[in-house]
Structure 1
């Protein structure tokens, strides 16, 4: 028995996940004292309540429903927490006068069950603070795990040896539970950091607000379907750590945008607002000083306004821009101006979109910023690949992507999926003021062409399209 207790203690301490730990605690304690059922309540100090969180029963299927009850003398669990004492009862339907509470028979009536013998155990942390209440129900004469067929014949009472065993384990359960709760709090704190990071990025780039969450949902759904499909992706299986890596990598994929200038991130026209206003003032000055006719002035204004839009620059507009770039004039103080200076001409001459080559490189640098920021976080062993994977959404299978020029066998499968999701969302997003959303059919055609060119993973793209995963979001 001592070896059995040591084995259980060792197993419990190794568990970090709260749900796994609590299920293991219940199962192991029920097994060692041969209890048919059991429940665990977690104590909330702020509200001084117990929350019903975990339950097991070998005889009846239980529809779990979380509820709270106060720490007082009016219920069995509440009394155990109030007194902070371990006790056992032979039959809750025949309570001794020393107990102030009455047994609530509602569960028994609804489930056709008969609660009889119980052990109640308060669980404390290392500082002797209450953190939980454990309840074991109906000690059996029959083998463990088998349902009770006769509550009169199969159920017996817990004895002093059972109480001694459970008590001997309560301390190690408290340590394990405290560690697990601490681990859970750290995870929740980190989840909060992730959400705050996404919010910080999107507050600097409100034009693409929602992009991060959408890319995460698309990526998650593709991976989820791949995980289910043993025929299309044999051997591809996700574990609990994999899902965390996927989540954090995807949600943080644009984190580096906090290192890119805000005006570049939010650039919706080829000229910045202050540049455009200054150019318009310069054109008015040219109009007055050179005394050009109104039609000519209107032509120049119309040219600048059209060229400033983020649409594809037509050859006719480009040629007209060339004619005006070398025009010079002087104001009344002899100061010389160029109608279109080099920077204005460079920006207005952008063939597609709004960004110059330098600005595009600055936007692309967000990937490197992402890596530089994330690599400073002391990731756990299971999450160590998050910084690398978060930076793979702009890599191409043929090595033509950025920022690291990775090739097919160097790109993690999460990165390959994220690349598909990122492009699909960028094409279909309806909230970009500088471009219209592309219809889904055209977006699928574009990513298919990218796959055929060796940029995106053909198998993943085909799977995304044939499964119609875009309709599952």
Structure 2
């Protein structure tokens, strides 16, 4: 080798070493496994000037190699990876039918023996079976010549894949040559770096899977506690992401500068999944309170019994009065007693039906209905069967009056505070976790979905300016899901138009973010969610202009 050739060789080697260093840095930054695998193969082809290459990964049972990426430049073959073209080739078995090592396939040999295989010319080699290679060449007119198969070993010194290159070319030429020792050394170094990068990505992915599985387990535990809110923890994150993506895509208006990358989206997704984790501490009898008088059972049955006692007493009193009139032989008087009895029984039935309706709860209870309950509590007197003291009692107890006069829903003020405490528990639980940097905002996002834009929400009384866009997004998602949910015990599911009308009033009242609500309506986020999660009868026509007015 003359001086000029030696200098060129040294320059080329330094260039490729610099390439290897650059590639190693790039590999460590890649977070997508598919792109990472593709980058590994393309980098190996680049530093060796190889015409083709294949990257294999060891299957989960460690008995075969699976094709992941294939490239052959001169034949315009590009399969696997980001191409979207599936590689329809059988696995390369690492063992034969008798369980012996498969040493006839180059890639299998490299994996089984954890050693590099460098073949100058496949047609001159008798150690390996190149029947398939020759057949491929005959079909395509290709000439497979030099091969380099390098095992990829992770930090545990275990083979996780094989990097196989085909037909090294001389620099600046299409002439095929053997892979030089320098090529082999560089690819072995790259394979080592690539295996570490791939293993790190796999470990991170496995930890993320484990983390999400734990979150799912917590949500399932909450769902098991209450059959009525079973899908809430799953639906709110879906709606949250729909609205957040719509907001990020907005290019005009107050939210034009809002954007999210993949890490931001993952952080918000986790927050959505955990937004109600504190409900694991909420008593079931409060979460599942379907009617106002429900405790372990619905006490409206006791009220029904009292009405039956009043009706029985009324009938007995009327019969006695009629009997007292018999000696006078006054049929008219007896008839009037009967008419008064019927009137009284009808009145009792009407009051009983009213209390049954009041017991179901709903969006609002009128003030005159509340006063009617309070009047009935003392207006009627009754004596429990078997009461030896013979004392009449108020028709409704203080606790029953308190529950039956709940203005909205089925929860009393103390029960509402118990329910509201779940968000405090959520924040306390999440703030105690050692969140990594890319998830550090999860407690704020998850803990803010019951705050209001006017500062009248809970638990911290934050205003709009003190909240992130993500927390405000989650607030809208939580409300819309609750309004349209079909699994609530205290109300029927709302149609889209009704739910959006209520939310429009909430926007005017300073409850929800007006800019995000406009995107929610204008971009029909509600409709995309409805088509996936709501019953067809809930999806009605929405007058967007009226809702946004």
The bucket for the TM-score relative to the shorter chain is 0.7 to 0.9
Matched, 1:120 2:149: yes
Q: Please, which moves more after superposition, 231-240 or 267-276? A: 231-240
- Equivalent in the alignment of 1:341: 397
| Aligned counterparts, 1:337-416, within 5 A | 337-416=393-472
**What does residue 79 of structure 1 align with?**
109
CA–CA separation in structure 2 for the residues paired with 1:371 and 1:393 = 11
For the pair 1:135 / 2:159, whether they are aligned, the reply is: no
User: Does the alignment pair 1:260 with 2:315?
Assistant: no
Task: Confirm whether residue 323 of structure 1 aligns to residue 379 of structure 2.
Answer: no
Normalising to structure 2: TM-score of the pair?
A: 0.75
Q: Retained in 1: the 8 A contact 2:358–2:404?
A: yes
Q: CA deviation at 1:315?
A: 4.6
- Which of 338, 352, 357 is the equivalent residue of 1:306? 357
**C-alpha RMSD over aligned residues:** 3.1
Tell me the number of residue pairs that the alignment of Structure 1 and Structure 2 aligns: 464
Offset of 1:334 from its aligned partner? Answer: 2.1
Partner of 1:229: 250
Give the whole-Å Cα distance in 2 for the aligned partners of 1:413 and 1:206: 31
Q: Is the 8 A contact 2:70 2:78 kept in 1?
A: no
- 1:297/1:372 CA distance change after superposition, 3 Å: same
Unaligned runs of 5+ in 1: 144-149
Q: Distance in 1 between matches of 2:365 and 2:506?
A: 23
Q: SS at 1:207's partner residue?
A: coil
Distance 2:107 2:473 in 1: 49
Change (3 A) 1:338 1:457: same
Stretch deviating more after TM superposition (130-139 or 224-233): 224-233
Secondary structure of 1:29's counterpart equals helix
Q: Please, which runs of 5 or more residues in structure 2 have no aligned partner?
A: 1-13, 96-101, 318-340, 530-549
In 2, distance between residues paired with 1:114 and 1:246? 52
Residue from 112, 127, 131 that aligns with 1:98: 127
**Bigger Rg, which one:** 2
**CA positional deviation for 1:269:** 0.8
Aligned with 2:477 (options 402, 407, 421): 421
- Partners of 1:429 and 1:105 lie apart in 2 by 63
Find out whether 1:471 has 2:527 as its counterpart.
yes
Bigger share in helix? 2
Measure, in 1, the Cα distance between the counterparts of 2:490 and 2:450: 21
Q: Is the 8 A contact 1:12 1:25 kept in 2?
A: yes
Q: Residues 354-378 of structure 1, C-alpha deviation per residue, up to 9 Å, x if partnerless?
A: 1111112211111111111222222
TM-score by length of 1: 0.86
Mapped contact 1:76–1:103 kept (Cα < 8 A): no
Deviation at 1:114, TM superposition (A): 6.5
Alignment correspondent of 1:146: none
